[in-house]
Amino acid sequence: MNWDIVFKIDPYSVLFLWTMFEKKDLLNVPKDKLFEELLTQGWEKYRLKQLDEWLWKHAIRDFQAMSNLSKTQRAYLDEHFYIPALIESKIQTSLDGTMKFRFKLFDGPFIESVLIPVPDENRFTVCVSSQAGCSLSCTFCATGQMGLIRQLTASEIFDQYILVNKKCIEVYGKPLSNIVYMGMGEPLLNYKNVIQSIEKLTSPDGPMLSSKRITISTAGIAKMIKKLADDGLKVNLALSLHAGDDLKRNKMMAINETNNLASLIESLKYFYKKTGNRISYEYIAFDGFNDQISDAKNLIRLCSQFPVRVNIIEYNRVPGMDFTKSTEDQINRFAQEVRKHGIMITVRRSRGKDIDAACGQLANQEA
């Protein structure tokens, strides 16, 4: 291979491939193994704590900035490890204040994160990606058209929070209050890294986020919902429902063919019984498809199984897709029918549509 040519095309990818042969990813070496290696090199235990704080409490991604480590220790880290930091590629700001971040991964692919500010309610939410692309191919989602490029590591998920939080403080003078795993990808198909990122985000040695401020959104992987319950994480769960019957859901979401509504309801019951954590349904309203009173009755039936909140979401047009959004009047009629049965339902207006940052629009499109 002519490396000179490749390097001119994508120097970051070449650097990644080279370091993969020579060095280890410091952020994804198990903590016990990392500390064991450094202790054999003569590191004092307090130095290990200093290193851990640099990486996860201060989120420093440059060995030379770790000023309380000795030059020899920094040189050792530089010789044997690399830090695959996210590279900020582009930031767009919507007319409504929503901000979309485009990050380049260390080996070349791009991902997107979204900051959704609600200053009046002192709520600042970051929507993070868990995969580069997505394998599920839901028929209304731009990300699904990309296919799955690769899984994100725990540190790449963690760093989205860190970088967006920094910008949130800079722009709004307040830190992020919530994090939702609703960006690119299916979180439960990258389970290990998602869980590890949550552990880092909630750790006393990291940002110390409350798990009650974290929501995992899934298209519906029944066995992984049960695993999430068994693992005891006190996070909130959102199911991308979008239809209250299997026939319609199959047309939109191929995953429903192997994870039908009966299996999903069973897994959600299990999750609620085991954890008591909040469950919500995300429901995008499509004109003439899933927004009729009969559809509302199907949704009501599903809401009778356990306490659940419903978020009705305005559809955001994706080029090449056949769906169109419901009218405001029809959405309101639908919501009122559900609300009559004592179900908590909220109609959420899309944020960031003018920069393709709204639900279902994340696809690394240039604007």
pLDDT tens, residue by residue, 131-155? 999 999 888 888 888 899 999 999 9
Compute the distance between CA of residue 345 and CA of residue 339 in angstroms, rounded to an integer: 6
Can you give the pLDDT at residue 260? Answer: 98
Ordered domains of the chain (ranges, CATH) = 3-82 (1.10.150.530), 87-355 (3.20.20.70)
pLDDT of amino acid 353 = 64
Note the pLDDT tens digit of each residue in 302-351.
999 999 999 999 887 776 677 889 999 999 999 999 999 999 999 987 66
Separation of alpha carbons 321 and 122, rounded Å: 35
Indicate the pTM of the whole model. 0.89
Provide the angle, in degrees to the nearest 10, between the axes of the packed helices 154-172 and 191-202.
40
* pLDDT number for residue 1: 42
Active site residue 337: no
Contacts of 58 (CB under 8 A, 6+ apart): none
What pLDDT score was predicted for residue 98?
93
Predicted local distance difference test score (pLDDT) of residue 4: 46
For the question of residue 141 being annotated catalytic, the response is no
Residues of the chain with pLDDT under 50: 1-9, 360, 366-367
User: Of 37, 79, 112, 121, which is the active-site residue?
Assistant: 112
Q: CA 98 to CA 100: how far, in whole Å?
A: 7
Catalytic residue chosen out of the listed positions 134, 141, 303, 359: 359
Measured between alpha carbons, how far is residue 279 from residues 44, 143, 231, 256 in Å? 45, 24, 17, 19
User: CB of 56 within 8 A of CB of 206?
Assistant: yes
Residue type, 161: Y
| pLDDT confidence of residue 316 | 79
Beta strand 110-118 with 178-181 is unpaired
